[in-house]
Amino acid sequence: MILDDESDCALLNRWIDYAVECNVKELNLNIWIDHMTYELPKKYYELPKRVLLAKSITELKLSQCKLKSFYSDINLPSLKKLVLDTIMGNKVVQTLIDGCRDLEEMIFNCCYGLKSIQVSSLPKLMVIELLQNFELESVEIEALNLESLVFKLRRPCKIKLGQCENLKKLLLYSCSINDKWLHDVLSKHPLINCLDLRDCDMLKRIKISSHHMKSLAFIGCSELVEVDIVTPNLHKLEYDGDVISFSLNTSSISEVSLAFEDDDSSDVEKIEFLANLSHPKVLNWGTFDAEVRIPA
């Protein structure tokens, strides 16, 4: 919806009142006030507090809204999915998280003013995605039933993972994590079967040993010099970067996708790299834009 003036906001408020009175279950407010850019928008629609007290809402999606700082008694007892896109708010976002005890999925994208997030005491939470939250400085997560975690950051952010015993999918884009952090997370969360690392430029030497791992991706990690993988049940591997020391011990690899960024590497070095890939059935080699299919 495009809001041009105060009369439009008043009309939207009446619509929201009617929806809440009718016990709406899914509410999607996609507000358009000015042209969207990667910079802080000049205007926001101020979300009525009654939305954050609606007992019937199970799915709430908010775009370009402002959450007022004095919202203190947020209570959405039925909410299962929360999506915040281009939202202004800091402490109130934390209050919102704490007020959604049955939350199963939360996705935050481009939330301005959001500097820290603490997630705990949400026993049903299974999915967290934190994308392009430019001011985020620290994240602490403890969610026993969390299965999927996605971070896409643009600045250093301290990430602390507590008890997430059921974590299976971990995607980290542009995250300031080092070798020790990754090793500790993989050791404490052995059920992870999908690991995707992109533009994590502090990683240098990675060692992964896992019977559950099925999919691995290392994309654009510019400082990476060594990878040692022992994953008997790995099915898919994706690598984009320089020719490095690479060891892969697996018996079930089905597909490997490669793209070498270092044009100075010799053909011998590339052949040695390929020799460590445990004979995949499908090899996609981006250097030559070719696909080679090897019979099973």
CA distance 138 to 135: 9
pLDDT value at residue 264: 62
* Cβ burial, residue 182 (10 Å; 0-12/13-18/19+): buried
For residue 281, is it within any domain?
no
- This prediction's pTM: 0.87
CATH of the domain at 52: 3.80.10
Q: What are all long-range contacts of 188-192, with beta carbons under 8 Å and residues at least 24 apart?
A: 188/161, 189/161, 189/164, 189/165, 191/165, 191/166, 191/167, 192/167, 192/168
Cβ-based neighbour number of residue 112 at 10 Å: 17
For residue 26, is it within any domain?
yes
For residue 11, is it within any domain?
yes
CA distance 144 to 131: 22
For residue 143, is it within any domain?
yes
Report the range out of 11-25, 154-168, 197-211, 273-287 with the highest average pLDDT: 197-211
pLDDT value at residue 11: 83
For residue 268, is it within any domain?
no
For residue 248, is it within any domain?
yes
Dihedrals phi, psi of 260, to nearest 5 degrees: -95, 130
Q: Which pLDDT band holds residue 295 (cuts at 50, 70, 90)? A: very low
Query: 197 - beta bridge partners?
Result: 172, 218
Query: 140 - beta bridge partners?
Result: 118, 160
Per-residue exposure over 250-277, b if at least 16 CB sit within 10 Å of its own CB, e if not:
beebeebbbebeeeebeeeebeebeeeb
Domain range for 73 is 6-253
Residue 137 and residue 116 in contact, taking contact as beta carbons nearer than 8 Å? yes
Tell me how many domains the chain contains: 1
pLDDT value at residue 2: 54
Instruction: Quote the Cα angle for 78-84-87, to 5°.
Output: 130
Cβ-based neighbour number of residue 179 at 10 Å: 15
* Spatial CA neighbour of 51 closest among 38, 36, 62, 40: 62
pLDDT tens for 41-89 read: 556 778 888 898 999 999 999 988 888 765 667 889 999 999 999 887 7
For residue 259, is it within any domain?
no
CA distance 254 to 283: 9
User: Per-residue pLDDT for 6 more than 70?
Assistant: no
pLDDT tens for 145-204 read: 999 999 998 778 999 999 899 999 999 999 999 999 999 999 999 999 999 999 999 999
For residue 283, is it within any domain?
no
